[in-house]
Amino acid sequence: MKKYFYPLLFGGLLILGSCKSGQATGPDNTGTDVAEVQDTAYPDVPDGFRESDLPGPGTPDADLLYDSATDVNDEGETDLVQDTYTYHGAKKPLKGLVAMGSVSDLRKGKVDVLKEVRVHPDVYTGVVIHTSWGLLEPQKGTYDFSSIDNALQDIASYNKAHPAHTLGAKIRISKSINPPEWVLKMAGGPVTIVTNQGYNIPVGLYWTPEYRKAWNELQQKLAQRYDDNPLIREVCVNSGAMITDEPFIAVFNQPTIANLHSKGYTDEAFKATLEGALDDYAYWVKTPVDFSFNVFRGIDTGKPVNDMDFTLSLMKKFRKQYGDRAVISNHGLQENLSTGVIPIYQTFAELGAPIAVQTKGPKDLKDATFKTGLKYGVTEFELWVSKAAGGYADFTQDDLNRWKKMIDDNEAQ
């Protein structure tokens, strides 16, 4: 009998304006090492956090409009009824240390976007808001943005209490965790992904035109709602992602390859899906877009075949189309980069900032790894949840302060 496991996910996003009146492990070490943080059923695949250098009212900023409105209450007193920031130009990408958070918290029914920054305050510049397609659009065309809005409210409250060290938000939306039933059944789906741990995960047919169109429409709705919000500093690409939040990372063992082929999967269709990400996120015209790159692996021959040329070509197209808002990234940073990932980091250095990374695993969070990242021009480091905050990474406030200084000193050079 097959055993199915449906991963869950947490959602959060940052809202603009406050009412004041009446208120998976990739090959060759190119991806996140989920094995290091595997829990009882499914690998914990955390994500990143980021910085917000949001200016306050009265602070000059050509790209930020501050607006307020007043009204007279029943007692004849003047109340501030709206206090909003709106960007009319492109936002700046996050820089520095970002709290990654933990996707696995969704399975527990409660995700705290601030759990890491509460333990280690005043050093992070941003946090990752995890949510899922299932939370955002449980029924086709029916949207629920509360997972994002609630997280944004928490961040806004934190920023009010820490005005000298405010946070920005980075949105990461999972498609495989808590997937909507209507998406799973789309185009003849789902397809069963057989993990190396023996779990059978049902996944929607993410390479098909029907699926891609639905994902594109969700991005349009999200951009309409949040692109002007200054707290939201980045949105992450998830077009083409299978069971992690990394578009290029996939489980390609023999059982899964057979299942994919039985549903019409081809390398050409997957490449088109990844290239289509540039259109999926084009609705975001002010918010920087984070796209995680790994070597493309084709399976038309029945076994994985690497195609690094495709990866590097798409990375350059992404930067050309999105310009300074194109955050090129990778989730497999280590002190000593593996052979398979070196061309990606060399291209990072060639294209320049903004560049974001996660380390391959919690154990890779050390000075030498930061030095490697800085050598290739990395500007944003997403950090795994610390043990002090209930995670797996063993670091202290002193470590964070030292890493922050390393990043600041490197930028000042």
Task: Check which CATH number belongs to the domain holding 188 and give it.
Answer: 3.20.20
Between CA 274 and CA 311 the distance in angstroms is 10
86 pLDDT above the threshold of 80: no
Asked, for residue 72, whether it belongs to a domain, the answer is no
pLDDT of residue 298: 98
Angstrom distances, CA of residue 156 to CA of 50, 126, 166, 200, 222: 14, 12, 9, 39, 19
Residue 398 DSSP code: H
Asked, for residue 124, whether it belongs to a domain, the answer is yes
Asked, for residue 350, whether it belongs to a domain, the answer is yes
205-216 per-position pLDDT tens digit: 999 999 999 999
Asked, for residue 128, whether it belongs to a domain, the answer is yes
288 pLDDT above the threshold of 50: yes
Asked, for residue 14, whether it belongs to a domain, the answer is no
- Predicted confidence band at 103 (pLDDT cuts at 50, 70, 90)? confident
- What is the share, in percent, of the chain residues with pLDDT greater than 70? 78
Provide the mean pLDDT of the chain. 83
232 pLDDT above the threshold of 60: yes
Total tally of structural domains belonging to the chain: 1
Token pair for residue 368?
């030498």
pLDDT of residue 1: 42
If you write DSSP's letter for every residue of 200-245 in order, what string do you get?
Answer: EEEE--TTSHHHHHHHHHHHHHHHHHHTT-TTEEEEE--TT-SSSS
- Predicted confidence band at 104 (pLDDT cuts at 50, 70, 90)? confident
Which helix (H) or strand (E) segment holds residue 182: the answer is helix 181-184
**What is the β-pairing status of strands 167-174 and 50-51?**
antiparallel
Phi, psi of 156 (to 5 degrees): -60, -40
Q: Which residues pair with 222 in a beta bridge?
A: none
Average pLDDT score over residue span 158-178? 94
pLDDT of residue 68: 35
Angle between helices 267-280 and 209-226 (to 10 degrees): 20
pTM of the predicted model as reported, rounded to 2 decimal places: 0.82
CB-neighbour burial class of residue 387 (10 A; exposed 0-12, middle 13-18, buried 19+): middle
Q: Which residues pair with 235 in a beta bridge?
A: 171, 289
Asked, for residue 366, whether it belongs to a domain, the answer is yes
Asked, for residue 76, whether it belongs to a domain, the answer is no
Residue 200 domain boundaries: 27-63+90-412
How many residues belong to the chain? Answer: 413
Average pLDDT score over residue span 358-372? 98
Amino acid at the residue 27? P
Is residue 245 within 8 A of residue 131, CB to CB? The reply is no
Is residue 99 within 8 A of residue 48, CB to CB? The reply is yes
Asked, for residue 362, whether it belongs to a domain, the answer is yes
Cβ-count burial 87-104 (b if 16+ within 10 Å, e if not):
beeebbbbbbbbbbbbbb
Which of 19-23, 174-178, 233-237, 300-304 is least confident? 19-23
